[in-house]
Structure 1
Amino acid sequence: MSIEAAGRIEQELAGVIESEFDATRVPDPGFVAQHRRAARSDHRWFRDDAERAAGVSGFEQSLNGLWRVQVAPNPASVVPGFEQPGFDVSGWGTIPVPGHLQLHGHGTPQYVNIQYPWDGHESIEPGQVPQLANPVASYVTTFELDRPLDEGERMSVEFRGAESALAVWLNGRYLGYATDSFTPSEFDLTEALQPGGNRLAAQVFTFSSGSWLEDQDMFRFSGLFRDVVLLRRPAVHVEDLRVTATLGEDGAEVVVDLQLYGAGHASVALEGVGELTADAQGRFRIRVADPRPWSPEDPHLYALTIRAFDESGAQTEVIAQPVGIRRFAIEEGVLQLNGQRIVFLGVNRHEFGLNGRVMTREQTEQDLQLLKRAGVNAIRTSHYPNNSFFYELADEYGFLVVDEMNLETHGRWDRIRYLDAPVEEALPGDDERWRAALQDRAASLFERDKNHPSVVMWSLGNESYGGSLLRDLADWFRGVDDRPVHYEGVHWDPRFPETTDVVSQMYTPAAEVEAYLREHRDKPFILCEYAHSMGNSFGGVDRYLDLADRDPLFQGGFIWDFADQALEQVDRHGRTFLGYGGDFGEAPHDGDFSGNGIVFADRTPKPALQEVAFLYQPFRIEVGSDAVSIENRSLTTASSAYETVVALRREGELLRSAVLETHVPPGTSAVHPLPFAVPRDAGEVTVDVELRLREATRWAEAGHIVARGQGVVSGSRPRPVRRGQRPRLVEGAHNVGVHGEHFGALFSRLHGGLLSYRFGGRELLTAMPKPSFWHAPTSNERGWGGPFDDGQWLLASRYARPVGTQLRTASVSHDDEAVTVGYRYELPTSPRAVCDVDYRVTGDGRVAVTVSMDLPPGLPELPEFGLQLATSADAHLLRWYGEGPDETAVDRRLGARVDVFEQDVRTALPPYLRPQESGSRTGVRWATVTDAHGFGLRFDAEQRMEFSALPWTPYEIENAQHPNELPPIQRTVLRPALQRRGVAGDDSWGARPLPEFRLPRSGRLEFRFSFTGVAGG
């Protein structure tokens, strides 16, 4: 059957090499492309089955490698004639392609979130480009064809990413021009090729009219940052293809439909099904009985093989096209996959790593494996199309992708939002000058990605307000495809609600989402961005998942975002650190606002990932003293697919473990008795239930924990009561001494505090303990102005003074068992507050501490309430019984489990881009901090406490702008606390923690714990 003629290919090849490039058109919004080949599907073609099996095509020739480059500061300074074959570029420098100019000595990276990079430097209007600072890179490389062109073959070059505009020449002849940094630009070379060496030249403009449409929250770079590839087309070639395979409503049968565009004849076969037959219109079809649907849990792909033949019957190429059979649509008012409601357990993902936006397939696959292990099922390509291999991998690993076109004009929208500019200033808004650019970007996205089953929604872009052009663009998408259309900007500009098929918002608190849905039931609701994971964050996110369980119209969201955007830098002392906005000498910039990931820039997991994995797990597990309840939230997978392991522990000691056979079908719940009895006389024990992979997969090893739950059971086992003689009391003029057989404590009347605590002949305190009300502000706290509001508590922590006249600052009392020494501290707050600290010392050296305070009305909220101590830096081994293993907070602790954990204090501060309060543990029953010989301190809580052991004080942490600026380690700082304020998670610029995760602002606060010396065995 003949392949349908490719009439959509928009160029006259005979005229491509005859025109000249006009650089004065670069600022024209309507100058989108010239002589560029039309967008097409991203399928690959091979010469034979052996190439197809190896994944190496003889029709492709990579031009990646070192190119010659020269960078002019602006278009007026470009070296004329550089593209001509005789121009000598031997004195030019070299740069790797793909690569960013700014990371190879040509300019500096610039991180801005909302601001346009030129803001404040040049005053220009939309469409105009900076004149003083618009670097233009001239690239040159040479190549020889790996073999001569066969008769009828054509050759093109494909630039898969060029930021922001690109002009191309071959052997001095102009080939074409293109904008849109994030979709391929392909140009025909055939008529300009010559035998032997060929000289390919390209000019890349940092700023073009298209730059107004690319104001995403990201580092700004320029250059050829994706692959450059030569592509051969045989005389008989499939130029474009469209495959659809939609699961029927009953799921029993599906029709796979294929359209081919090109010339010649073709045969098509679907692996395991049979040959496709063609109808009179040239469409190939086949019915698939009992199909295996594609889904995140089972991303099954059928192999579709397409063979093209010339008139003589000789095969000219073979194409391997994966096909995922699935149905994604709004059905019964909600988003459904294969007839089942879905919840997006999603993340936003910039295509960004330590080499900027230069990403390899291998790096991308590692990202997706990490996300799969964390239970993520959906990715939004914020805010531009990714490399084509991302979508191939998403198909294979099973991710629901919201595919976003390259559009954001946030800096322009701010003029309307904050400066009262008229709606007419919206970009693109209703301005017809931008229609061609938008349509081009939409078509480039759609045509390339249309065959990927992972793509379930088209997104019109991000934070570009609204307008008729976006409305019309949504209609265009609906006219060419049946996938829903997404756009969040309707929330801010509601003139055209039909622009989006879903209600989409950003960072709306869960309670407000619920209130909205009480009044609006017309569309599914998603949060295209939520849980702004900047620094030590991601608190209270469970409220969103609970709402998704309660209300079918709320269908989840996408965490902002996957990984920190940061680049390696070296400080003046030769130490490496990760740089953020402003670290490269650029201005304007937006500081560390690029540090929003659930993983660090090097893909090391942040502590928040522990919470993500728990909240996104496909099973909810509730463990009691004699049974476990398992709720299966999967779409297709029963619990029996995994091995369920139950473990009984007491303070880290494994008492029993067993495998529990379960079979909980998707969408159901069941209760199973535990496989053993939990002893009632063993004190506090934990029962852990884990669902583990039975076998290794592409994304995890066998035994990987897919879901888990824990029950804490308190029994009747009494703890031994330590008794002994009352310690010896020595009341000196300046000091109060309390001494026992192995210890001595010295309380200063002169300085107003515990001056010394010696145990086993060693001093264990290196600073006087003080009440602690302050911590180094987190990114979220800085965002909503916490330091300004709470600054009194910084003064209170640093400058509290003992109440009383000199030499009378300590109150001393005793009973039959202990001596109690107390201090009252006056705090520099307004109104004045006082804090009491009492030390009750028993004969065995145990010091029971009570920190208490009656809060007067009118004071700001406390960041924390506890005590700060310091001991020797040699005591760097932390061991605790409480929640872990990663750091936790009162509003981010569901992902933790209770057990005994260990950590080196020297690495206990997570390396957030900007140091801040972190490294704390919640639910701590006891903790020890010792040296390598086991000598140090043990802390016990009457109930539970938060506990922090770090090498630095909060003040040292706060003063550092980067981890490498933290001072050399001199001590171990210990901060047991009643509570620290929650880290919050809705956003990083206004959302405080939920009320239940804050300390009270009135009434009495009291915190009790004890410490004692411990000696190594």
Structure 2
Amino acid sequence: MADKITTASAAWLTDPTVFAVNRTPAHSNHVTFSHIPAIGEPSDLKQSLDGEWRVEMVQASDIDLEEEPFAAEDFDDSAFGRIDVPSHLQNAGYMNHKYVNIQYPWDGHENPQEPNVPETNHVALYRRTFTVAERLDTARQNGGTVSITFHGMATAIYVWVNGVFVGYGEDGYTPNEFDITEALHDGENVVAVACYEYASASWLEDQDYWRLHGLFRSVELAAQPHVHIEDMKVEADWNPETATGSLDALLAVRNAKNAATVSATLKDLSGNVVWETALAASDETGIVSGSLDVKPWSAESPALYELQVVVIGHDGAIVETATQRVGFRRFRIEDGIMKLNGKRVVFKGADRHEFDAKRGRAITRQDMIDDITFCKRHNINAIRTSHYPNQEYWYDLCDEYGIYLIDETNLETHGSWCLPGDVVTEDSAVPGSKPEWEGACVDRVNSMMKRDYNHASVVIWSLGNESYAGDVFRAMSVHVHELDPNRPVHYEGVTHNRKYDDVTDIESRMYAHADEIEEYLKSDPKKPYISCEYMHAMGNSVGNMDEYVALERYPQYQGGFIWDFIDQAILVRLPDGDERLCYGGDFGDRPSDYEFAGDGIVFADRTPSPKAQDVKQLYANVRIVPGETGVEIANDNLFVSTADYVFVTRVLADGEPVWQAEQRFDVPAGETKHFDIEWPLEAYRGQANELTLEVSQRLAAAEEWASKGYELSFGQTVVAGSKPVAASETKPVDGIVTVGRWNAGVQGSGREILLSRTQGGIVSYTLDGREFVLRRPTLTTFRALTDNDRGAGHGYDRAQWVGAGRYAKCVNNTIEQVNDDTLKAVYEYELATPQRTHVTITYVADTTGKLHLSVDYPGETQEAPTIPAFGLEWTLPVEYSNLRFYGPGPDETYADRKHAKLGIWNTNAYDDHAPYLMPQETGNHEDVRWAEITDDAGHGMRVSRHGESAFALSLQPYSAFMLEEAQHQDELPAPKHMFLRVLAAQMGVGGDDSWMSPVHPQYHIPADKPLHLDVDIELI
């Protein structure tokens, strides 16, 4: 290249108009194979430079880029450390971890002023040697070129090969490729990279994420033959009216004059030829197919084909073969609605950062497979690549498995225009309407589009995230539409400045409440609506998600993306050998936003969180409503019927499965049908108090992402049974009721219950000498605050309830013998609140060893805040850790998050303790009919509803106050007790956001309404 710049300049770091020097123009990531005779077999001409590199950390002020000796070929780097590529400098111990959300990480240490960078600016000096593989070198010697590509780095790199400066690059989330042909020589070569922590690019990369640096994606060499397909731009369209596809491809062929023809062949993935053609080679070779008999691509049925392009030389020999997988589909906005292949689509999505607890952004292919497997298993059909283009393999997987993508530009500048309290400062916004930033921003969206254009999974281009608005975004939008007139443009930031509404084709909002969205949908909207972020899944969250799903009845509501996919917590090995998941601030990083990155529906170790239970059911495309005459099945899929699934029908008698059958129900896409089912109700109605009719949709055959029989969706209906009321059991003749001066007790059947006049309740409950009362159960009116509670100020607003039950005092008691077999004790408590509300706890014990427990809150006549929880907390010996219960499960449920399956479930206190990044309320089970708390030998306690009202229950190794005090899971002590909470009610967890929005009113516990807990307890 005659205009190649040969000297590096430090001035580029703070010049927003310089973002790439000597970088190869962006192009598609199609696969090529060279057929150079001297090489022999066709080769992709790729050579990985991944593996061990040498590295040294210095300050920017300590190096001179123009004279820097470390780039010299003969530089002695024996004193350098070692680092694996790809990886992050932080994970390798060379830099400190930093986490901030909105603010720039140097704010306060210095006053951020764009486009400047902090004085303290780390530079990682990377070096490694390599010998060019013979096949690549042969291509070079035959007139080809060799390039080096950095697929991911942060934040800016200068690159030298054998001491020769070859290029500078920013935007480390799309390839930075440099031609190094002239810098190479025979034998061992040296590549040197100066990777800067901060550059002007840092102003464009203020994503809510750990600030991680280094070469975090693969580095590779690639050779291209003299005649080379540099770029492929493929339009694989599908016409829903004719049910046919068409292919339109534009090829950029380097040195096309040295080739004779270009042939194109389209094959299905079984290798069958669908179509083929041949034409004369030219610099820009256009390929047009005409009508094709192909299957359409969608997330439901991701049919793929392979386009193979062959360049043939004048001698008739093949020069190069290029392949690109394509899916035929049409995505358009028609009549204000986004449609895929002519059908309105609803995105059931999540926002996904690339993250691993050990590797940061340097995730592996297996990590990506695990993530996409989770998506398919949990009915997630869409991902927004928040907030940067992802690794190329992710797009291949989304094409193959079927996931819709919003591909997002590497752009976020939240801290430049937002002050504490969400105060907007328009003048300071980057990029805003500042011309000096336009080139870099347009280049970023261009690099993303050129790389990812051919992927069927990419249906929307996003201009970035939380970067306000301005003329720069208008320029980006214009560029996107010029490059791709078909896919729509997404950008949420215009909500802050509506004069830029033309920038986005989609009305996109963050964390708008369902009622606010409904107002938009009712107001004759001109654009389709999505929530690019909603359901902030921080900690124990994702309540009231059903309110958003209900909006699907509006045609222009087209779904949303849960923030976010995975908790961002760094796994650290402590000096004692234990491991801890750490969050912001744990590394001495200041400023920090602490645990705010713990907001995934997947935990940092990639295990599903309990929140995923509701997400899966509410996102299901098949909705099932059983009834006594059969089942109604609504198939919300756009293109596939239910014929290829098996439906398992079951009857549960008081939670126990008593009947099961497999059936096939064929419901075409978009239709709802009723099917008769001959439930054997009369055979079981007399054996149960309630019968559950259940129908579940399951895989009839194994998929790549799940085995045969995997359940995707279910529906249940409970109908009344007619089991006769059991006659009262005969009291044992050896039963004894004793009313003493200080205590009263009941003995019988090997059990003893002791009630105290002075302690305010039961003080002993034994079976064959086993004690189940370590201390008298206490009233609880509190729960360990969730992240949403803290963000919404629930703790502040409800401070009176923290100690109201814990410090309540017993002001009166009456103990009386009801008859020869029964003892009744009534304790009147005064809550520790300004209102001094009286609560009554009643124990009725008999000689069978059964205990009827009721707790009554009358309702406060004076104004008081709603109650977080109400019931009793019972401390048990630590061995009673097993939990079997009949209710919705298997995972925790809450008043606003209980789209779970009714049944009998087995778990334990340890598994039921969800390891949220910040310890908080967890393990609650709503609508419990009965529960058994036992040791490993089966000894323990059974708690059952006394009447028709179910109760809430949890069994945890920690009390609510222990959870409230801990900042990390490993700060919780080794369990010495179990804590059983039996509640009349607990408020919901909320989910709109984690910094402002309260739990919705219908899921609060009003202080002015009575509460009644009514259960029977027996030892088993």
State the TM-score, normalizing by the size of structure 2: 0.95
1:20-99 equivalence runs, <5 A = 20-47=7-34, 57-77=43-63, 80-99=68-87
String of CA shifts for 1:10-36, please: whole Å, max 9, x gaps.
xxx2443x6210113201111111111
Name the stretch that deviates more: 878-887 or 262-271: 262-271
The CA distance in 2 between the partners of 1:547 and 1:237, in whole Å, is 50
Corresponding residue number in structure 1 for 2:869: 864
Displacement, 1:1001? 2.3
Work out whether 1:874 is the aligned partner of 2:875: no
The CA distance in 2 between the partners of 1:914 and 1:57, in whole Å, is 51
Displacement, 1:725? 4.4
Name the stretch that deviates more: 346-355 or 906-915: 906-915
| Contact preservation (8 Å) 2:746, 2:823 | yes
Identity value in percent: 39
Aligned to 2:772, which of 737, 747, 764? 764
Aligned to 2:355, which of 332, 352, 356? 352
Work out whether 1:845 is the aligned partner of 2:825: no
Name the stretch that deviates more: 139-148 or 269-278: 269-278
The residue matched to 1:273 in structure 2 has which SS? strand
Displacement, 1:152? 0.5
Work out whether 1:242 is the aligned partner of 2:247: no
Residues 514 and 254 of structure 1: CA distance in aligned 2, closer, same or farther (over 3 Å):
same
Corresponding residue number in structure 2 for 1:7: none
1:456-467 equivalence runs, <5 A = 456-467=459-470
Work out whether 1:955 is the aligned partner of 2:961: yes
1:686-697 equivalence runs, <5 A = 686-697=692-703
Work out whether 1:390 is the aligned partner of 2:394: yes
Corresponding residue number in structure 2 for 1:8: none
The CA distance in 2 between the partners of 1:763 and 1:661, in whole Å, is 53
Aligned to 1:1009, which of 991, 1002, 1015? 1015
Work out whether 1:455 is the aligned partner of 2:458: yes
Displacement, 1:364? 0.7
The CA distance in 2 between the partners of 1:603 and 1:96, in whole Å, is 23
Q: Give the unaligned 5+ runs of structure 2.
A: 268-272
**2:60 is matched by which residue type in structure 1?**
N
Aligned to 2:156, which of 159, 162, 165? 165
String of CA shifts for 1:535-575, please: whole Å, max 9, x gaps.
11111101111111x10011100011111111102345432
Aligned to 1:746, which of 732, 754, 765? 754
Displacement, 1:752? 1.9
| Contact preservation (8 Å) 2:404, 2:459 | yes
String of CA shifts for 1:834-865, please: whole Å, max 9, x gaps.
21111111221111111111232222211111
The CA distance in 2 between the partners of 1:465 and 1:335, in whole Å, is 24
The CA distance in 2 between the partners of 1:545 and 1:1000, in whole Å, is 27
Corresponding residue number in structure 1 for 2:745: 737
The CA distance in 2 between the partners of 1:824 and 1:344, in whole Å, is 54
| Contact preservation (8 Å) 2:158, 2:169 | yes
String of CA shifts for 1:361-410, please: whole Å, max 9, x gaps.
22212211110111111110000000111111111111110000011111
String of CA shifts for 1:630-653, please: whole Å, max 9, x gaps.
000011111111011112222443
Displacement, 1:736? 2.3
**1:629 is matched by which residue type in structure 2?**
E
Corresponding residue number in structure 2 for 1:785: 793
The residue matched to 2:299 in structure 1 has which SS? coil
Displacement, 1:940? 0.4
**1:46 is matched by which residue type in structure 2?**
F
The CA distance in 1 between the partners of 2:938 and 2:366, in whole Å, is 44
| Contact preservation (8 Å) 1:277, 1:286 | no
Name the stretch that deviates more: 483-492 or 360-369: 360-369
The residue matched to 2:904 in structure 1 has which SS? strand
The CA distance in 2 between the partners of 1:310 and 1:49, in whole Å, is 11
Name the stretch that deviates more: 169-178 or 671-680: 671-680
Displacement, 1:301? 1.0
The residue matched to 1:511 in structure 2 has which SS? helix
Corresponding residue number in structure 1 for 2:248: 257
1:427-826 equivalence runs, <5 A = 427-481=430-484, 482-548=486-552, 550-679=553-682, 680-683=685-688, 684-725=690-731, 728-804=736-812, 809-812=813-816, 814-815=818-819, 818-826=822-830
**1:937 is matched by which residue type in structure 2?**
M
Aligned to 1:331, which of 315, 319, 334? 334
The CA distance in 1 between the partners of 2:354 and 2:55, in whole Å, is 25
The residue matched to 1:796 in structure 2 has which SS? coil
1:110-259 equivalence runs, <5 A = 110-131=98-119, 133-147=120-134, 148=137, 149-259=140-250
| Contact preservation (8 Å) 1:738, 1:744 | yes
The residue matched to 2:371 in structure 1 has which SS? helix
**1:168 is matched by which residue type in structure 2?**
V
Displacement, 1:344? 0.3
Work out whether 1:999 is the aligned partner of 2:1005: yes
| Contact preservation (8 Å) 2:891, 2:912 | no
The CA distance in 1 between the partners of 2:35 and 2:983, in whole Å, is 69
The CA distance in 1 between the partners of 2:173 and 2:524, in whole Å, is 36
**2:876 is matched by which residue type in structure 1?**
T
The CA distance in 1 between the partners of 2:171 and 2:878, in whole Å, is 54
The CA distance in 1 between the partners of 2:661 and 2:898, in whole Å, is 26
The CA distance in 1 between the partners of 2:642 and 2:200, in whole Å, is 54
The CA distance in 1 between the partners of 2:63 and 2:668, in whole Å, is 68
Name the stretch that deviates more: 957-966 or 629-638: 957-966
1:399-438 equivalence runs, <5 A = 399-415=403-419, 418-419=422-423, 421=425, 423-438=426-441
Residues 335 and 586 of structure 1: CA distance in aligned 2, closer, same or farther (over 3 Å):
same
The residue matched to 2:90 in structure 1 has which SS? helix
The CA distance in 2 between the partners of 1:253 and 1:761, in whole Å, is 78
Q: Give the unaligned 5+ runs of structure 1.
A: 1-12
| Contact preservation (8 Å) 1:253, 1:287 | no
**1:66 is matched by which residue type in structure 2?**
E
The CA distance in 1 between the partners of 2:313 and 2:412, in whole Å, is 45
**1:877 is matched by which residue type in structure 2?**
N
String of CA shifts for 1:671-725, please: whole Å, max 9, x gaps.
1111432233222222221121111111111111122111222211124244444
The CA distance in 2 between the partners of 1:290 and 1:304, in whole Å, is 15
Residues 78 and 566 of structure 1: CA distance in aligned 2, closer, same or farther (over 3 Å):
farther
| Contact preservation (8 Å) 2:746, 2:822 | no
Corresponding residue number in structure 1 for 2:94: 106
String of CA shifts for 1:736-765, please: whole Å, max 9, x gaps.
223334222222222222111122332111
Displacement, 1:986? 1.0
Name the stretch that deviates more: 720-729 or 408-417: 720-729
Corresponding residue number in structure 1 for 2:975: 969
Residues 722 and 47 of structure 1: CA distance in aligned 2, closer, same or farther (over 3 Å):
farther
String of CA shifts for 1:283-332, please: whole Å, max 9, x gaps.
11112333311101111111110112233232122111111110001012
Corresponding residue number in structure 1 for 2:270: none
The CA distance in 2 between the partners of 1:948 and 1:420, in whole Å, is 44
The CA distance in 1 between the partners of 2:725 and 2:214, in whole Å, is 67
**1:873 is matched by which residue type in structure 2?**
V
The CA distance in 2 between the partners of 1:195 and 1:899, in whole Å, is 70
- Please provide the CA RMSD for this pair: 2.0
- Which of structure 1's runs of 4+ aligned residues deviate more than 6 A? none
